[in-house]
Structure 1
Amino acid sequence: MGMSPQARLLRVLRDRGAQSKAELGDLVELSRSRVVAELDRMIELGLVEEAGLAESRGGRRPAVVRVASAVRFAGVNIGATSVDVAATDGELEVLEHVAEELDVREGPQRVLDRVVELVGKLRDQGHLPRLNGLGIGLPGPVSFRDGVPYAPPIMPGWDQYPVRDTLMRELGCPVLVDNDVNVMALGEKQAGVARNSDDLLFVKIGTGVGCGILVHGEVYRGANGSAGDIGHIQVDEDGPACGCGNLGCLEAFFSGAALARSAEAVARTGESPFLGMRLAERGTLAATDVADALAAGDPVALRLVREGGRHLGLVLAGLVSFFNPSLIVIGGGVAGIGHVLLAEIRSAVYRRSLPLATNNLPLVMSELGEDAGVIGAARMISDLVYAEPTR
């Protein structure tokens, strides 16, 4: 990683908070004079500020520096049916968070206009006196290099829409776009259970299934940006049809949408009286109804979740043998079915993977929930802003 001295210094200040110049030199392995020169330049750019004096280690009390308190990022997470916008400071602490229901199928103009309006609302409330950059996660494949969604299955009208360039023009600041799962993986690394892991898989089980891959603490996107699309790994060649046109994909067996379908099937046959009653009341079922049935002790719901967990565990076991991560984090809406799912995934992974790969391999639920996306989006853009001196 050929990171500039400025990027290394700013990342340490972002992730560890205020430091004395001497401590900074030790942490980034630069000479004292080089650290002082770099810091002076960044103070001039408004990225760093002096923050008083540290406790003495004997002798004079050293000056402490921190990321400038005026630095602000916006992190945006677009879901299938919602938009979340957060304002963070330069250390990526969330200062304010606004969210609302909005269907991504309303198209890019409508959704991005709303993003700009919500950023404006945060600005009016005083949370964004300036905007150093904005990061945004989208629920579909994204060409990271071009800042555009690429043939996203649940986003009609968005294919190759210039999301990055539109937002840069509207907001006048740097913008980066990625898919939501990569962004959530970064959020877990920044503020979640993955703080101390550099090689990890973040598995999101929402309407579909996706996986964010971090290698040496950085998102691994693959050659075209589609790495981690594990929802379309085939689990059974005679399996159910998947929305992508193939048979037996993981997503067809286990995802929010698949779980809702299975729930409706067992409700109709009367196998699950609980889900039968729920279907009669609501007219349709969602994955959350399976979670409720599970909580009520419904054995059929338990079976559905265990079968789903087994299929996901099968795919993860293959990934563990291939990638040897130090941690697997499970998140997304369906993660709400919690420990039953986790137990099933764990047993499948530990049974099928080589002992060396699963030795000390924690498999855990996300604790950040909805915040993972906005924090990760802010982290993604902070990496860019901190790496390139502001002109």
Structure 2
Amino acid sequence: MISSTSTVRFAAQTDATTSLLAIVNLVRKGEATTKPDIGRVTGLGRGVVTQRVEQAITLGYLEEADFGPSSGGRAPRTLRFRAERGRILVCAMGALHLRVGVTDLDGRILARSHRVWDIASGPDATTAMAMRMFDDILDADARSRIWGVGVGVPGPVEFESGRPVAPPIMPGWNGFDVRRPFIERFGAPVWVDNDVNLLALSERSRRRESGQDDLIYFKVGSGIGVGLLSKGHLHRGANGAAGDIGHVRIHDAGRLCRCGKTGCLEASAGGWALVRDALEAVERGESQALAAVRERTGEITPVDISIAAQNGDAVSIGLVQRSARLVGESLATLVNVFNPAVIVVGGAISASGEIFLAEVRQRVYELSLPLATRDLVLVRSINDEDDPIRGGAELVREQLFEIHFGRWFAEGQPSLSALETVN
């Protein structure tokens, strides 16, 4: 039988741990950076705050920095989170691109690399290429301080296992253990998510001070996908499939989709579908601009269509507007169901600017409920090439410090043994 004294002691230890974790995260996020601030936010007494701060300094998470502003007495010493102690690695896989990056524990990008890459090359070749790219940008010091790895893939992924499930554009990837190669190479915990979720997390970091916590990131690139943020938290659904709107059926559409079904939104409005239709238009002699692109480069890409639309090519404008109309209709359904504060539209097709966005706005406001659109902001993403890396770092930081922190903080840095459910 456990004595009442033991129960009280255990409760006190639990409270001490909880308050210690909370203090580190308050400083890490910049929400409280002096002992008086920490006391006001947490309600803890001065002596308890001092004790917890000293513990955090001893464990290596915090250190004293400059003096803060005085409120009448002696100026308080500020505290800073030691973001330089660890490194986060990010591998962002796209349909036709591969990006890797290294950040500190605050998510600041320290090094990055990018190359054109076809995800259809398969998991072994793709992960091997990612490792070579990491080798090029990692120095010996960074290798010894890797705290976590974030990986984004352009398809549905079961978040708990890190395995893609029947990804339409990723032949050979179904059920592949994406985490395993990275764990074996770097010996750190690894999290795998859909690529659009990483973009949504990047937008969250950009809008942290705006209070726009209910957000939809709608990507129209080669394919179509959605990242959903509810009160600042990703909504992945029961199995990680939330947001796969590219494969909802649309009215009067009979085109065969890459997933094997007919009538999917992506098969009519996605970048690969617009390329298909653009090539057909070129064969019919309807677009000199796109014909010139194919003659010069041997192919037509979604970006080529967006650029041609901006330059006044009638075929390209028609393709972009049709995509926008279908996207807007699908977004209107999401707006009525999800009621976001902001919608961010990104991807190669959105690069056509107002030609695309104006049509999307018109359909969303026309088909959504007035209350759902009363305060809605609908904008185009800035399409920063670092967004996938920034979002991957956000994913890892959230998992390390807000979800699993209590399991490994006493060790001073995360380990696979402490995060056994992650590997």
Q: Does 1:223 align with 2:242?
A: no
Q: Does 1:196 align with 2:207?
A: no
Aligned to 2:393: 378
Alpha-carbon distance, 1:5 to partner: 4.5
Q: Does 1:46 align with 2:60?
A: yes
Q: Does 1:185 align with 2:195?
A: no
Contact 1:47–1:71 (8 Å) recurs in 2: no
Aligned to 1:67: 81
Q: Does 1:132 align with 2:147?
A: yes
In the alignment, the residues of structure 1 paired with residue 24 and residue 155 of structure 2 have an alpha-carbon distance, to the nearest angstrom, of 31
Deviations 1:144-197 (A, max 9, x none): 101222222222222222222331232111211111111111011013599532
Aligned to 1:239: 254
Q: For the structure 1 residues 181 and 312, does the alpha-carbon distance in structure 2 shift closer, same or farther, using more than 3 Å as the test?
A: same
Q: After alignment, is 236-245 or 35-44 more displaced? A: 35-44
In the alignment, the residues of structure 2 paired with residue 346 and residue 39 of structure 1 have an alpha-carbon distance, to the nearest angstrom, of 50
* Aligned residue runs from structure 1 range 7-156, under 5 A: 8-16=22-30, 19-27=33-41, 32-68=46-82, 69-124=84-139, 130-156=145-171
Alpha-carbon distance, 1:135 to partner: 1.0
Contact 2:32–2:38 (8 Å) recurs in 1: no
* Aligned residue runs from structure 1 range 247-326, under 5 A: 247-326=262-341
In the alignment, the residues of structure 2 paired with residue 186 and residue 225 of structure 1 have an alpha-carbon distance, to the nearest angstrom, of 15
Q: For the structure 1 residues 311 and 369, does the alpha-carbon distance in structure 2 shift closer, same or farther, using more than 3 Å as the test?
A: same
In the alignment, the residues of structure 1 paired with residue 394 and residue 330 of structure 2 have an alpha-carbon distance, to the nearest angstrom, of 29
Q: For the structure 1 residues 230 and 193, does the alpha-carbon distance in structure 2 shift closer, same or farther, using more than 3 Å as the test?
A: farther
Q: For the structure 1 residues 242 and 110, does the alpha-carbon distance in structure 2 shift closer, same or farther, using more than 3 Å as the test?
A: closer
Q: After alignment, is 288-297 or 209-218 more displaced? A: 288-297
Q: Does 1:205 align with 2:220?
A: yes
Alpha-carbon distance, 1:118 to partner: 3.1
Contact 1:199–1:214 (8 Å) recurs in 2: yes
Alpha-carbon distance, 1:258 to partner: 1.0
In the alignment, the residues of structure 1 paired with residue 274 and residue 209 of structure 2 have an alpha-carbon distance, to the nearest angstrom, of 28
| Corresponding residue to 2:367 among 352, 375, 386 | 352
Q: For the structure 1 residues 282 and 117, does the alpha-carbon distance in structure 2 shift closer, same or farther, using more than 3 Å as the test?
A: closer
Instruction: Give TM-score scaled by structure 2 length.
Output: 0.85
Amino acid at match of 2:380: M
In the alignment, the residues of structure 1 paired with residue 378 and residue 260 of structure 2 have an alpha-carbon distance, to the nearest angstrom, of 31
In the alignment, the residues of structure 1 paired with residue 52 and residue 135 of structure 2 have an alpha-carbon distance, to the nearest angstrom, of 33
Q: Which has the higher contact order (CA 8 A, sep 6+)?
A: 1
Q: For the structure 1 residues 105 and 5, does the alpha-carbon distance in structure 2 shift closer, same or farther, using more than 3 Å as the test?
A: farther
Deviations 1:277-326 (A, max 9, x none): 33344443221221222122122221211111000000000110010001
Contact 1:83–1:99 (8 Å) recurs in 2: yes
Q: For the structure 1 residues 138 and 238, does the alpha-carbon distance in structure 2 shift closer, same or farther, using more than 3 Å as the test?
A: closer
In the alignment, the residues of structure 1 paired with residue 200 and residue 281 of structure 2 have an alpha-carbon distance, to the nearest angstrom, of 34
Alpha-carbon distance, 1:52 to partner: 2.8
Contact 1:291–1:336 (8 Å) recurs in 2: yes
Alpha-carbon distance, 1:379 to partner: 0.9
Contact 2:225–2:245 (8 Å) recurs in 1: yes
Alpha-carbon distance, 1:256 to partner: 0.9
In the alignment, the residues of structure 1 paired with residue 44 and residue 344 of structure 2 have an alpha-carbon distance, to the nearest angstrom, of 34
Contact 2:95–2:118 (8 Å) recurs in 1: yes
Contact 1:87–1:128 (8 Å) recurs in 2: no
Unaligned runs of 5+ in 2: 1-16, 412-423
Q: After alignment, is 231-240 or 308-317 more displaced? A: 231-240
Contact 1:206–1:334 (8 Å) recurs in 2: yes
In the alignment, the residues of structure 2 paired with residue 32 and residue 253 of structure 1 have an alpha-carbon distance, to the nearest angstrom, of 62
Contact 1:13–1:66 (8 Å) recurs in 2: yes
Q: For the structure 1 residues 34 and 222, does the alpha-carbon distance in structure 2 shift closer, same or farther, using more than 3 Å as the test?
A: farther
Alpha-carbon distance, 1:104 to partner: 2.2
Amino acid at match of 2:212: S
**SS of alignment partner, residue 83 of structure 1:** strand
Contact 1:18–1:51 (8 Å) recurs in 2: no
In the alignment, the residues of structure 1 paired with residue 52 and residue 291 of structure 2 have an alpha-carbon distance, to the nearest angstrom, of 66
Alpha-carbon distance, 1:12 to partner: 4.0
Aligned to 2:9: none
In the alignment, the residues of structure 1 paired with residue 279 and residue 318 of structure 2 have an alpha-carbon distance, to the nearest angstrom, of 14
Contact 2:111–2:137 (8 Å) recurs in 1: yes
**SS of alignment partner, residue 162 of structure 1:** coil
**SS of alignment partner, residue 19 of structure 1:** coil
Instruction: Give TM-score scaled by structure 1 length.
Output: 0.91
Alignment length, in residue pairs? 389
